[in-house]
Amino acid sequence: MEWWIVTILYEDNHLLVALKEPFILSQSDGSNTPDMLTLLKKYLKEKYNKPGNVYLGLVHRLDKEVGGVMVFAKTSKAASRLSEQVRLHKFEKYYLAVVKGIVESDTYKDKILREEYQSKIDKKGKDATLSFETLDVINNNSLVKINLLTGRHHQIRVQFSERGHYLLGDSRYGKKGKYSLALYAYHLAFYHPVTKEKLVFENIPSKGYFSKFNVKQLLKK
């Protein structure tokens, strides 16, 4: 798979912001599945005609099934400073999801324990917190805007499923659906590692389960 399948949203000497499509990995797992890090390194190598290995730092991850906005660091200094923002919860990460049933805006606080391929609510786990706003309900399915306050493995999927509101299309924690997983990382904001300017990037999903909702209009309210 070639790098031009990836949409570049922003690039300077320090950063690269791109859209990850569902079923592309954030980084290689040793299989033949395409991953963002490898694709974007190919892009940089070809665009700038760079010999040898190209540096690109992975700052955060999205699950394989999840699409959305990601930022990568083009220098080790940028990688270190962005990673520090992640650690200090200075990244703004908002997701959109379509969940089964009618849910009212709320905050979920649990402890999540990661197992090999999935996670579960368990008092031995790590703190997991998210808050969300319900934007609309159609056919007993709720469109929610989620502020992810911690970044545990499969956190959003586990916390909603635990309360009987699995994400549509989630074959692992809910049931297989007509479309792929209804979870999208639509908003990412952080401070530029050099200029300190706040940068905000958004991309609104319109396919699959999201196509049933007027997402763009609902986010303007």
Annotated active-site positions, please?
63
CB atoms within 10 A of CB 147: 15
Indicate the burial class of 78 (C-beta count within 10 angstroms; 0-12, 13-18, 19 or more). buried
Distance CA 82, CA 163 (A): 33
208 three-class SS: helix
CA-based nearest residue to 163, from 126, 206, 194, 132 = 132
83 three-class SS: helix
181 within 8 A of 167, measured Cβ to Cβ: yes
Question: Cα dist. 137→98, 180, 183, 200 in Å?
Answer: 9, 19, 16, 27
